[in-house]
A and B are shown apart, each in its own frame.
Chain A
Amino acid sequence: MEPVRSQRKLIVNDVVSTLPLYRSAPALEVRLEEFELFALDRLRVLKGISDALSRGRKPEEMEKLAIDLWKTNMRHPQASEVINKDIISHFVLRLVYCRTEDLRKWFLSMETALFRYRFKREKQEAQRALMAEFDLPYKAVSSSEFESVKEKLVLVSRSLGQSSPTADDIFFKVPFEEVPELVAGRRVFISKGHAYIAMSQVVSLVATQFRSHLSRALILTNRKWTTTIAEQEKDRLTPIVEALSSSYLGPDYSQPKEFAQISLKDIEDVAKSSFPLCMRHLFEKLREDHHLKHGGRMQLGLFLKGVGLKLDDALAFWKAEFSRKVGAERFDKEYSYGIRHNYGREGKRTDYTPYSCQKIISSTPGVGDHHGCPYRNFSEENLRAALNKMGVTGRAVGDVMDKVRNRHYQLACTLTFEAVHGSSCDAGINHPNQYFSDSQKIMQSKNQSAA
């Protein structure tokens, strides 16, 4: 099979596809300065994408943004070196981001997103060549089969608000397992286990493949790093790699700072003054119903841990509420385990980190749930009422609702913060515990100046 493989690669190059798949580490010589610089340039692109996504930008905007970021940062004075910079920077960042589960998750998401935007920009022939590279079990749908399912395909495209397919459009048949995103969004017609995907949806197929390959590669890289490379390179690459990884992800609030510790008697006041809306809502519902479902317990529980509530106080807090509904005994039997689990005292003893805004926004609260992001989930009416309760009125409410309509949920929360505290928050809200600690900082400086 070998000779055929490299022949295929040549074809890809002829079609001027500048989209590498990063299948194997390049046998290139890299200068040490380039090692770091290339990686930093690529990191700017990935970080740019990450920021834009968390601000709720629409997909069409994202594509343009990503491509612009790429063009700006990934240039090289020598045209022939552009692709090398691309490949080298990717592999350097693999070393940087393979080391923990969180880093891998972030890198995987950003690289896949980047790959997706770049793939969409490629011409059709280049796209088909890349599909071939992935060895995907797809079959083009014959025209007779197309006729038999055409009605259903039309329904699908109409349900998505798209133009209906004609006999000229190419469709592929793949096992539904290959395209989970398309299935999840009901964006394809499926029958007897096969999904009928349009050429435009091929991006999803290919991105899934890209992601799973990269995911496996990162695990392998991590293993190699910890067993051999880190030690071998401790005077050369390792310090660079370590410096690169700490530069771009914000604090995760798993170690609460001293001044932010709160005690049980403070909770009520501090909830009113410094909790972001999502946590206020959960807190209020807990007080009202003396119960929260699992999603709410996790979101609020971990937040409180991040805010400095000690395990004993947490147990007392939840018990005081829950025992009014289910009784103290049932609380001890059914719920205390979960709280201790959150603090890393049970089971596999993972010390769970409080959820970031991105995670909270993407959660899917169901019947009887109160977690998730209120800016996303509340109806306009309910959100306005909640904001009024927080003391946000008049013009400020309008501005917040504006952001919500454009799906900029974190910006909405930031504006709320600014309205409530009467001061600006330039960094923007990315994490409920950040909201809390920033709020506390302002409260404390107010107290000090009053004193």
Chain B
Amino acid sequence: MTGDEVSKGSDDMMIDEYEQKQGNVVPDGFNSHYLKVYYGKLFPYADIFKWMSYGNDGKHPVCDQSYFSRREFSFTLDNEVYLRFQSFNSMSELENSVKEKCPVKIDIGPVYSVDPSKRHAYAQSGDNVFTPVERELIFDIDMSDYDDVRYCCSGADVCLECWPLMTIAVKVIDTSLRDDFGFSHILWVYSGRRGVHCWVCDGKARRLTNEQRAAIADYFRVYKGNENSHKKVSFTGLALHPFLARSYTEVLMDFFERKLLLSQEIFSTEERYEKILDMIPDPDQSITSELRGKWQEKRRTANSKDDINVVRWEQLKNMLQSGKHKVQGLRRCVEEIVFSFTYPRLDMEVSKHMNHLLKAPFCVHPKTGRVCVPIDPNRCEEFDPTAVPTLSNLLEQLNIGGLRAEVDNEWDRTSLGKSIRFFRSSFLQPLLKSCKEEMESSYNAKLQQSKNSFSW
């Protein structure tokens, strides 16, 4: 199955020299050879094209043939050259360009008023401008923004102990986008290393102004400040806003107590619990000194079967919620602590501007070799970033299948197949169906209008 076919004509597509002897093992890595195969056989051009066309690639009279060509793509090449304002008139143009240039990263920008490649012919202001007219509402959540509340990793690293922070972010934001804002066509994507991206693709979302995007980002924002300010989460008022209250009772508290408290060992050392004590408004030190006193005891108590983090958390909660201490700002302190450790931290700038670029799904991350696969928000608790297919995994799987002539859907015999099928069934198809309906109703509305104007 494998041996003989290797040395046939298109053997520049097969990289692995050990392949004949050691089976199909493809060494880990990220390089232009591997990428070439990936772009040659696996990258889902048709799906990306259909998505970006939003139904305009059809034959319906209301289809805008220029729509896809007004979308900006950008390529980062191997030699760190960065090509902006790339645009394509068709799927095959996009496919050929990607295969030829073999970009290390593909970003997607907005749909502009005119084809980006023709932008220089247009003015900066006045009537005939070159300006974004549509863009998905996007969110970028990066694990490194949580470095002050995770102890298992820092920086670029990510593990199964801190990944729940991303799970929380997906649950909280996804629920709010659907229930509060009424959006339905939402795609969550693994960023390839340490975070997640979100693409909200409803027509209403694509047409939001910068101001409206900023408003949504601010609605989601809770954590304020940085190392220069002490209190990063602050809830004044007598109750939490319904959105925050729901997030707290349905997601945050559960994840905090069930997972993070233990996996991050939040109260286990003096340095760590001091950080929590710092969050308590306690001008006369009565609360914090009492807690500190309990926790500095080296001897464990009789009930030392319970995890020390759980014990200390219960003690803290009891103290804060007992109502014994009448300190201003104490009311919501428990929530503030939980929110500090769990609530999603968005990159505000990414969401606020229509012209912000974002990495395309199904790209491969250069540092990890992992594919940016979609995440099912309904099953995000099961998502395992360490099990995401890597470039070398996929090539191995292709090898196992053997070299075949140009076959469609080569991805289907790799672990990428699952992701692409998920992308299609739960995101792309419903989206395109809704686009079609929107187009038909707007077409019918226009017909009605012109009929009415005739009645004069």
Contacts and interface: CB of A to CB of B under 8 A. Distances in A.
Contact of A185 (B145, B218, B245): B218
Contacts of B218: 183-185
Interface string A155-171: 11011110000000000
Given A152-B242, A159-B240, A185-B218, A192 B226 contact: no
B228 interface: yes
A191 interface: yes
Interface residues of B, number: 43
Given A180-B212, A183-B219, A184-B215, A379 B226 contact: no
Given A333-B80, A381-B230, A190 B215 contact: no
Contact of A377 (B212, B223, B229): B229
Interface string B237-269: 111111111000000000000000000000000
A377 B241 contact: no
A160 B227 CA distance: 27
Contacts of B237: 158-161
A161 B331 CA distance: 13
A192 B349 CA distance: 25
Interface string A361-383: 00011111110001001110110
Contacts of A379: 228-231
A193 B204 contact: yes
A161 B180 contact: no
A379 B145 CA distance: 20
B204 to A, nearest CB: 7
Given A155-B242, A186-B243, A223-B126, A191 B228 contact: no
A129 B148 CA distance: 52
Contacts of B126: 223
Contacts, number: 105
A236 interface: no
B348 interface: yes
A322 interface: no
Interface in B133-188: 145, 147-148, 179-183
A152 B244 CA distance: 11
A184 B242 contact: no
Contacts of A155: 239-242, 245
A133 interface: no
B186 to A, nearest CB: 14
B156 to A, nearest CB: 14
Looking at B224, B226, B240, the one whose CB has the most chain A CB atoms below 10 A away is B226
A4 to B, nearest CB: 18
B28 interface: no
Contact of B236 (A161, A183, A369): A161
A368 B142 CA distance: 13
Contacts of A348: 124
Interface in B393-428: none
A365 B228 CA distance: 10
A123 to B, nearest CB: 29
A131 B214 CA distance: 25
B310 interface: no
Interface residues of A, number: 40
Looking at B228, B231, B237, B240, the one whose CB has the most chain A CB atoms below 10 A away is B228
Interface string B193-234: 000000000001000100110111011000111111111000
B70 interface: no
A35 B148 CA distance: 60
Given A161-B237, A379-B231, A368 B226 contact: yes
Nearest to A374: B228
Contacts of A152: 242
B345 interface: yes
Looking at A159, A177, A181, the one whose CB has the most chain B CB atoms below 10 A away is A159
Interface in A184-229: 184-186, 189-194, 223
A176 interface: yes
A176 B209 CA distance: 12
Given A156-B241, A379-B231, A366 B211 contact: no
B228 A367 contact: no
A436 to B, nearest CB: 22
Nearest to A382: B228
Given A155-B240, A348-B124, A184 B214 contact: yes
Nearest to A337: B82
A225 to B, nearest CB: 13
B70 to A, nearest CB: 19
A377 B225 contact: yes
B249 to A, nearest CB: 12
A246 to B, nearest CB: 22
Contacts of A370: 226, 228
Contacts of A181: 215
A180 B211 contact: yes
Contacts of B242: 152, 155-156, 189
Looking at A189, A190, A377, the one whose CB has the most chain B CB atoms below 10 A away is A190
Contacts of A159: 235, 237-241, 244
Contact of B182 (A161, A193, A368, A382): A193
A147 to B, nearest CB: 16
A176 B348 contact: no
Interface string A246-285: 0000000000000000000000000000000000010000
Closest 8 A/B residue pairs (Cβ): A193-B182, A180-B215, A184-B218, A158-B239, A184-B215, A159-B237, A192-B182, A379-B230
Given A155-B242, A183-B215, A377-B229, 9 more contacts: A158-B239, A159-B241, A159-B244, A183-B216, A190-B181, A191-B182, A368-B227, A370-B228, A378-B228
Interface of B: 80, 124, 126, 145, 147-148, 179-183, 204, 208, 211-212, 214-216, 218-219, 223-231, 235-245, 345, 348-349
23 contacts: A155-B241, A156-B241, A158-B237, A159-B235, A159-B244, A161-B238, A176-B181, A183-B215, A184-B215, A184-B216, A186-B243, A191-B182, A194-B182, A348-B124, A364-B224, A364-B348, A365-B225, A366-B226, A368-B145, A369-B226, A370-B228, A379-B228, A381-B230
